[in-house]
């Protein structure tokens, strides 16, 4: 894609409005990776990852510790007296 001044300005506007990279790419007719790369080269502010969990979410409780499993008792053979 030829990044014209108009295209860069449109990218900056859509980025500032908070649209996803995929949505910006659809609107501009380019791939989301092209948007990500150009945003990086323009030093646009970083966006929170849509995959990461919210930092304010309640953390999961730690799993309960597992009890060690004892080996089965040894069976002794009967010894004749």
pLDDT, tens only, 36-74: 999 999 999 988 776 766 556 666 777 888 888 888 788
Angstrom distance (rounded) from CA 59 to CA 78: 56
Return the closest-CA partner of residue 28 out of 52, 48, 47, 10: 10
pLDDT for the residue numbered 78: 67
Percent above pLDDT 90 for the chain: 53
**Model confidence at 81: pLDDT above 80:** no
Domain spans in the chain, listed from the N-terminal domain onward: 5-41
- pLDDT for res 73: 80
d(CA 36, CA 21): 7
């Amino acid at each position: 894609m030829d990044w014209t001044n108009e295209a860069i300005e449109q990218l900056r506007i859509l980025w500032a409005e908070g649209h996803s990279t995929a949505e910006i790419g659809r609107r501009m007719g380019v791939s989301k990776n092209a948007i990500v790369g150009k945003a990086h080269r323009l030093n646009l502010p970083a966006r929170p990852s849509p995959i990461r969990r919210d930092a304010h979410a309640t953390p999961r409780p730690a799993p309960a510790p597992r009890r060690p499993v004892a080996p089965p008792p040894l069976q002794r053979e009967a010894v004749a007296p």
